[in-house]
Amino acid sequence: MLGHRGGRPQSQCIVISGESGAGKTESTKLLLQHIMNLCKGNSQLEQQILQVNPLLEAFGNAQTVMNDNSSRFGKYIQLHFQKNTVQGAKLSEYLLEKSRVVQQDAGERNFHIFYYMFAGLSSEEKEIYGLLDPSLYRYISGRFGTQDVAQRWKHKYQEVCNALDMVGFQEQEQVDMQAILAGVLSLGNVTFEPEESNGSVKVSEASRGWLKAAAGQFGVQEDELLKCLICTMSVTRGEQIQRFHTQQQAEDARDSIAKVAYGRVFGWIVCKINELLAENVDREVELGEIGILDIFGFENFAVNRFEQLCINLANEQLQHFFNHHIFQLEQAAYKEEELPWETITFNNNEPILNLLLAKPLGLLSLLDEQSAFPQATDKTFVDKLNSSFKGNLHFQPGRGRVLGFSILHYAGKVQYTAGGFLEKNRDTLPASIRGLFINSITPLLSVLFTATISRTGTLMPHMKAKVIPGADNKFNSTRKQSAGAQFRHSLMVLMERMYSANPHFVRCIKPNRQKEPGVVESQVVLQQLRYNGLLETIRIRRDGFSWRPSFEEFAERYGILLLKQDVSSTKESCLEILQSTELTGWLCGKSRLFFKYWHQEQLAKYVQRLEGAAVVIQKVFRGFRCRKSYLKLVAELRAQAQRLQEEAKREKSRQLAMEVEAHKRISLPVPIPQKRHPQPCSPDKPPQPPVPRPRSKLTESTPFDNYLDPSAPRPVLWTEEQTGKEAKMRKLQRGATLCWFKETQAQKVMQDDGAFPSWLHGMISRREAENLLSDKPLGCFLVRISQSRPGYTLTYRGEQRCRHYMIQVQPNVRYVILGEDRAHASLTELVRYHQTVGIQPFMEILTVPCGQKSSESLDYEVLECLKQGAPAAKGETPPEVQPCPSSLSTSRPALQSRAATVLRHVWFKNNNSFQSQESLDKSRTKPSSGEERGSQRAFPRLRSSIRLAMQEIQQFSSVHLKTSVQSSCQTHSIEDAEPK
């Protein structure tokens, strides 16, 4: 899509639309998988992008009447490319349906993540988070599911945890996030009853334990949370006034806290994903983009609320975008170029958009106006709509006593219930709650409420929100923008992005209303084809011209077909190019050409034919040039060898002549030299290296040593200075990697007995690993420490060769084989997993580990040193003061250790994925006993408070159950006694 088939690189956007349940989310996942498979970059970024979908589905999708996996938010995924490789991604989310957290209609469920937690967490983990039986929680309506459904949810929870690890979420962040979700559920069980003394409200006796549990899960004090629920504090003329809530206001405050907390957790997840998947690009290279829009489909339920109005507004905007590109722009181009064309009529929904978005008399503007009045109600809002839109063809007032109205959308008539419109648009939150959560001992909750909200409703954790004076005097929070205004701004930004790119449209059609596979209802399909405008689209695609390049663009792209240089960008040149082909059915306008959709593919084949011919020409020319260079080099070597042979013959003749001359003379006897014994070296005098024997020019002549022709240029591969620098750098890299392994990895990999696993080898090379596995059986493997980076390499003995898999250690200390879609908590867990599940793409299963040879081998010196220094982890000597084990040199170990440490810091600084590796790993080193392991585990901050609250709830439930059983027994005994 980015410049493929002779096209110019251009940003693209793909709009996936359709009814709820038509398959938009599944189409998005398939499209992402296809794009990632085409990229095939040498990084883990592709797998991280693919893991975003299951993560967002768990937190943003829910079961509705129309769809079991309905997206309750919209998302726009921007994939950034450089040189046909994905370099980063950015995610934008729109209008999360937060009201689903506190209320679901019949046949619907809450967000998936709540059910996944109950099915996937173990009993111990549920106790840690303070979760009891799911039937007790009001926010999930006590509906859980069958055993098969629970098993599927358990598998989904494992996928979510793996996605969190793969994308890069820290373990403590995951714990805090799940503790907040548990707090949302506990808060929903808090009920209120009137106080007889002063007319205020109080927490009922049955929900005291739930309030304590929610406070512990949120990391705040119980009494402070209670004050935020039942009263509002305000300051008037220096005097503090406490105003108590009614029972309805207290319940509204409780539900608003739950909605805002969940909404900010979801927004934080999106921000964290964008932070972890941020692009790392070359600023000098042009950056391309492919955007994929997966937004909620058109909805028409039995009861339609504020969320359905916003969802259908988004679909109206997308339909207008589709009509604008397919019908308006295309037919305007035909008229401008004076082509023979019969105008195709279509259903223009612009009047509906004016009804909803116009200022100051649009529906959303009137809703914001009414929301600004404290005394306004939903009835006054409906009365305002009836008076403002009287006579509008697309608006119908509610009939009878129903407080609502109807809008005639492009997809049909939808009746909306106006109850709750003002409250949802205000998106209120008690101002004291924000201050309470900012001071929470749970860092994540403090970050969520310290962050500010942008105009589009996006959470920005790195920017602190401004506190508006006098905000405490209002029941509303410091947020001044309404939910409708935020959605309108975000929709406007989305349309700007899509109008600046080349759009592609994917229409998903729902086959039936019963959610049954393999069933197609003709009337249902035909209705969707009509209101989507697909029948008119088919006609304009049949009669129209989908590709309309200008003369300059066409000549620049296909001028190569003329096989000449300097093709001008004129109409005549374009016609000459087309006449050289066999294309028919195209038209030429005043400033551009008009083609059918298949013409671009046919022109691409002509270009590919020339590209193939160019490759053949390059192949022949390069072969000719290399052959010519080779023959020249062979001739030079032969001439040089001949000269050497002639020189050797002359030298040999001269030596023979000298020997003959010497025999003629009378020579004195030569004394026999005495044998010299080596003298012992003195301790203060270092041993001298042996003096090398001088080599003869006759026997040692090579082009690189003792060159005979001084005038010829000497071939230089590298200088001694360069060789020394490279060797020194390799030594420093090796030392830095060894320090990284010792300080961050050794204690994690080491077994309980202080020894390393048999499959772990030292820092051996690729060839040494292959030699070790050469005579081993199929499936034998070993894990070695990488020499040039902080990480590992798994070497596997295949059928005819050894394969080397790179193991990446992520910033959140998770181990991933490059290209795999699963993260592991430890290296041992990774090995055990792939002893049962094959490694992609060859699905090779690890069988027999390759054991170490001996402790005397240089390859295992690192492991042996660490085994001997194992007690350092127990407190004898801090690991920071121990020298790094290295086999580099023994003359100056301290200097090399310091140099390796300096290089390691520079190395980690340049490598973004390991900036926080050292501090993070020290807090997660492997303990030596079970008790220490438990102390190192991440827990919610107020775990003891949560445990006490759970005990109080269980005691109250048991007492209540016992009382009810006794009363029922007494009733039965009285009934039995009455006949007597």
Q: Which residue has the tokens 């013959």?
A: 649
| Predicted pLDDT at 83 | 78
Per-block mean pLDDT, blocks of 10 residues, the chain (980 long): 52 89 91 87 81 93 90 91 86 90 90 94 91 91 78 94 92 93 94 81 90 92 91 73 85 92 94 86 74 89 91 92 88 88 87 92 93 91 94 90 91 92 87 88 91 83 56 42 89 89 90 89 91 84 86 90 86 91 90 89 91 93 94 94 92 90 67 57 53 43 41 49 74 84 85 84 87 89 87 89 90 89 90 91 89 53 56 40 37 40 40 42 39 49 75 76 55 49
Q: Residue 25 catalytic?
A: yes
Q: Which of 173, 299, 536, 820 is catalytic?
A: 299
Burial classification of residue 548, based on how many CB atoms lie within 10 Å of its CB (0-12 exposed, 13-18 middle, 19 or more buried): buried
| Predicted pLDDT at 721 | 59
H/E stretch holding 543 reads helix 534-543
- Locate 84 and state its tokens: 């046909």
Residue type, 922: K
**790 occurs within a structural domain:** yes
| Predicted pLDDT at 908 | 41
Alpha helix ranges (H) inside 40-146: 45-50, 52-60, 112-120, 123-129
Q: Residue 60 catalytic?
A: no
- How many residues would you count in the chain? 980
Q: Which of 414, 177, 361, 207 is closest to 272 using CA atoms?
A: 177
- β-bridge partners, 797: 802
Distances (CA, A) of 444 to 44, 441, 941: 26, 9, 11
Q: Residue 42 catalytic?
A: no
Q: What is the DSSP string of 231-252?
A: EEEEEETTEEEEEEPPHHHHHH
H/E stretch holding 80 reads strand 74-82
Distances (CA, A) of 958 to 143, 209, 534: 22, 13, 62
**129 occurs within a structural domain:** no
Q: Which of 21, 120, 219, 484 is catalytic?
A: 21
Q: Which of 11, 28, 53, 67 is catalytic?
A: 67
**285 occurs within a structural domain:** no
**Spatial separation of the C-alpha atoms in residues 464 and 970, rounded to whole Å:** 61
Q: Residue 299 catalytic?
A: yes
Q: Residue 21 catalytic?
A: yes
Q: Which of 11, 20, 477, 828 is catalytic?
A: 20
Q: Residue 20 catalytic?
A: yes
| Predicted pLDDT at 355 | 94
Q: Residue 702 catalytic?
A: no
**864 occurs within a structural domain:** yes
**853 occurs within a structural domain:** yes
- β-bridge partners, 796: 781, 803
**Spatial separation of the C-alpha atoms in residues 86 and 83, rounded to whole Å:** 8
**Spatial separation of the C-alpha atoms in residues 146 and 119, rounded to whole Å:** 11
Per DSSP, the three-state class of 105 is: coil
Q: Which of 71, 189, 786, 886 is catalytic?
A: 71
Cβ pair 846, 832 in contact under 8 A: no
Q: Radius of gyration over alpha carbons of the chain, in Å?
A: 38
Q: Would you list which residues are annotated within the binding site for ATP? A: 18-25
**54 occurs within a structural domain:** no
Q: Would you list which residues are annotated within the binding site? A: 18-25
Burial classification of residue 423, based on how many CB atoms lie within 10 Å of its CB (0-12 exposed, 13-18 middle, 19 or more buried): middle
Burial classification of residue 553, based on how many CB atoms lie within 10 Å of its CB (0-12 exposed, 13-18 middle, 19 or more buried): middle
| Predicted pLDDT at 346 | 85
Owning domain of residue 831: 727-922
DSSP label of 500? T
Pairing of strands 288-294, 12-18: parallel
Domain total in the chain: 1
Q: Which of 17, 25, 64, 92 is catalytic?
A: 25
**Spatial separation of the C-alpha atoms in residues 196 and 202, rounded to whole Å:** 10
Q: Which of 297, 484, 544, 762 is catalytic?
A: 297
State the sign of the Cα–Cα–Cα–Cα dihedral 328, 331, 336, 337: positive
**502 occurs within a structural domain:** no
**Spatial separation of the C-alpha atoms in residues 448 and 733, rounded to whole Å:** 41
Cβ pair 227, 67 in contact under 8 A: no
**Spatial separation of the C-alpha atoms in residues 103 and 97, rounded to whole Å:** 11
Please enumerate in sequence order all residues whose Cβ is within 8 A of that of 63, keeping only pairs 6 or more positions apart, or say none.
69, 70, 108, 109, 112
Residue type, 549: P
Q: Which of 11, 70, 417, 532 is catalytic?
A: 70
**Spatial separation of the C-alpha atoms in residues 93 and 59, rounded to whole Å:** 12
H/E stretch holding 544 reads none
**732 occurs within a structural domain:** yes
Q: Residue 440 catalytic?
A: no
Burial classification of residue 524, based on how many CB atoms lie within 10 Å of its CB (0-12 exposed, 13-18 middle, 19 or more buried): middle
**Spatial separation of the C-alpha atoms in residues 77 and 274, rounded to whole Å:** 10
Residue 796 is part of a domain; what is its CATH number?
3.30.505.10
Distances (CA, A) of 60 to 20, 56, 257, 458, 459: 14, 6, 18, 15, 16
